[in-house]
Each structure stands twice: as C-alpha cells, then as structure tokens.
C-alpha cells in the first residue's frame, strides 16, 4: 500500500477569552497539519472495560492518535509505547478530557503499543492514523 | 473578581481524505472543549537548549491544558511531564512538525500534569507551546 492512500489532517485553533470583557486575548491556529498516511480510523463510541484495554494499531505503527473521554463517569489513562520502545506517553483523562499526538509518517517516530486503562465500563472516542 | 478569569478553548477537527478519489472518509470535530480557567499562556517562539527548560504557568503548579509543537526544521525535542498522583515521568519525542495536546477540565481528582520539561538535542531549537490552568 503506497504512502499516499490518505491525507490525515488535524485542524485546530486555541483561544483564550477573558471572562470580564469577552476579549479574545489568544487566538492561534496550530498550523493544520496534513500528513500523507496509509490509514485513518475513527471510533465514535469505543467500549472500554475496567482495567487495561489494548487498542489494535492498524499496520503496527501509529503516527496520529486522538483520544477523548466522552463518558460522563469514568476516567482513563492513555498509554503509548514509542517506536524506540524506551519511552511512553500518558495522561489521565476525566470526562471531556482530550489527548492527542499528531506526527508525520515520513519521520522516524510513532507508537507501537496503545492501550487505555479505565476506571470502569464506559465509552471513549478514538482516532488512529499512520 | 474571583477566578475563573478566562475560558481556554480548543477548536479542533480531524479529517481523513482518500487521495485517489478525494472522498473525505473521516470528518470529525473533537467537541471544542472550552474550559473556565485562571490563566492561558501562549509562547509563540521559544528557544530550547540541551538543558531542560521547565514549562510552568504563572498561577498553579498543575497544568490542565497543554499544547506543544516542535517548530524547528530539523531537530528532535523531548517533552516530559508527571501526571498528578503519579511519580513516573512521561516522555515523548517530537520530530519537526510533531505536536501533542492535552485539554481537560481541572475538576478531576488527579487531573492535570506537573513538572513539564522540554529538552532539545542541540542548542537553539525552536518550539511553541500553550499552558492553561
């Protein structure tokens, strides 16, 4: 499969709005990263159970990962093992929390293992690309 | 006026477009979480060195909204942090153009991260970041 099957794009903007005046004091696009990729997979309601939940990575290597805790009650931890095997990335996400990493498949990075540790039975939202 | 003073918002969407047909097979907003907060700090151009730069917001040891992008054209940056309630430092290596985002509400017992550090493989490496709390 050629490395041009898909273009996975993250379009994002960060704003900071002052409560007292309504002024938008920070308004910054992050550059709209569009990467040529082999695959892109989105799960709107991915079921998780208490404890560890291994998420299958298509092709064995993920370059773009997005996780959102859309469950109203559980909290989750996102666990990633980097390509080199020596590093991990993680964050605790309570309801509404978002974690994402977005990188170019042409570069020598990515993640080989992806799991979610959950405090209970619930649902999360996931995108994996690479 | 008591906090929250600001609302930190992440507007983001993910698309996956089939190159051959042009069909957009994934088109999904991430929900645009808007978090009432005390502070939101954006640093557009920071120069990193081989000595770890600690990234901290001015009001709180814990950061709940974090964005970091390697804007350098050629060098790798290592970003580390510690989850609240944990002791092990988490590590991610970011190549040029790579980014990470954490965006969450501070209401969770162990929400947020601390001791955020950024280290370059050589001196004078560019990055940009946002810290919210």
pLDDT tens digits, one per residue of B40-73: 999 999 999 999 999 999 998 899 999 999 999 9
pTM confidence score: 0.93
Cβ pair B83:A40 closer than 8 A: no
Rounded Cα distance, B119 and B52, in Å: 5
Instruction: Indicate the pLDDT class of residue A108, thresholds 50, 70 and 90.
Output: confident
Surface-to-core class of residue B32, CB atoms within 10 Å of its CB (0-12 exposed, 13-18 middle, 19+ buried):
middle
* Residue A89, pLDDT score: 66
Mean pLDDT of the region A45-74: 94
Please indicate, yes or no, if residue B128 is contained in any of the structural domains: yes
Q: Check if the interface score ipTM surpasses 0.85.
A: yes
- B76 in any annotated domain: yes
Range of the domain at B45: 37-132
CA distance A66 to A100: 4
The one-character DSSP state at A103 is -
Q: Quick one: average pLDDT of A101-114? A: 86
Report yes or no on B59 lying in a domain: yes
The candidate with the shortest Cα–Cα distance to A28, out of B49, B28, B65, is B65
B52: exposed, middle or buried (Cβ count in 10 Å: 0-12, 13-18, 19+)? middle
Q: What is the CA radius of gyration of chain A?
A: 16
**Domain presence at residue B1:** no
Is residue A37 within 8 Å of residue A86, measured between CB atoms? no
- pLDDT tens digits, residue range B75-126? 999 999 998 888 877 888 899 999 999 999 998 888 999 999 999 999 999 9
Pick from A4, A8, A18, A19 the residue to mutate for testing the B interface (most B CBs within 10 Å): A19
**Closest CB from B91, B98, B105 relative to A102:** B98
Check residues A85 and B46 and name the one with the higher pLDDT: B46
Residue A1 scores a pLDDT above 50: no
Task: Give domain status of residue B11, yes or no.
Answer: no
CATH number (domain holding residue B65): 2.60.120.10
Q: How many interchain CB pairs under 8 A, A with B?
A: 194
> Which chain A residue shows the shortest CA-CA distance from B40?
A16
Beta bridge pairs of residue A25: none
Residue A91: pLDDT over 80 = no
Total domain count for chain B?
A: 1
Once rounded to an integer, what is the mean pLDDT over residues B25-43? 94
Domains within chain A, CATH numbers bracketed: 39-129 (2.60.120.770)
Q: What is the mean pLDDT of chain A?
A: 90
Transcribe A3-54 into DSSP letters.
TTSEEEEEEEEEEEEETTT--EEEEEE---EEEEES-EEEEEEEEE-SEEEE
| Paired sense of beta strands A64-68 and A122-129, if any | antiparallel
For A:28-87, CB contacts with B below 8 A are 28, 30-31, 33, 36-37, 40-42, 44, 66, 68, 70, 75, 77, 80, 82, 84, 87
pLDDT bracket for residue A4 (50, 70, 90): low
Q: Quick check: A90 and B90 CB within 8 A? A: yes
User: What's the confidence (pLDDT) of residue A3?
Assistant: 54
pLDDT average, residue stretch A5-12: 94
Backbone φ/ψ region at A60: left (φ over 0), alpha (ψ -120 to 50), beta: left
């Amino acid at each position: 499969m050629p490395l041009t099957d898909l273009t996975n794009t993250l379009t994002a903007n960060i704003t900071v709005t002052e409560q007292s005046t309504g002024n938008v004091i920070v308004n910054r696009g992050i550059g709209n990263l569009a990467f040529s990729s082999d695959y892109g997979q989105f799960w709107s309601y991915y079921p998780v159970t208490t404890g560890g939940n291994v998420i299958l990575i298509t092709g064995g290597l993920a370059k773009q990962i997005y996780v959102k805790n859309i469950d109203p009650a559980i909290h989750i931890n996102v666990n990633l093992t980097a390509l080199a095997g020596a590093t991990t990335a993680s964050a605790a996400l309570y309801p509404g929390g978002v974690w994402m990493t977005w990188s170019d498949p042409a570069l020598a990075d990515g993640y080989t293992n992806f799991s979610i540790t959950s405090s209970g039975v619930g649902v999360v939202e996931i995108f994996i690309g690479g | 006026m008591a906090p929250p003073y600001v609302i930190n918002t992440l507007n983001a969407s993910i698309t996956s477009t089939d190159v051959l047909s042009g069909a957009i097979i994934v088109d999904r907003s991430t929900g645009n979480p808007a978090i009432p907060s005390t502070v939101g700090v954006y640093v557009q151009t920071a120069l990193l060195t081989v000595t770890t730069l600690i990234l901290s917001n001015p009001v709180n040891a814990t950061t709940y909204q974090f964005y970091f992008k390697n804007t350098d054209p050629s060098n790798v940056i290592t970003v580390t942090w510690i989850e609240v309630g944990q002791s092990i430092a988490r590590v991610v290596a970011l190549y040029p153009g790579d980014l990470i985002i954490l965006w969450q509400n501070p209401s969770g017992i162990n929400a947020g991260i601390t001791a955020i550090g950024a280290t370059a493989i050589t001196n004078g490496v560019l990055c940009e970041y946002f810290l919210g709390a």
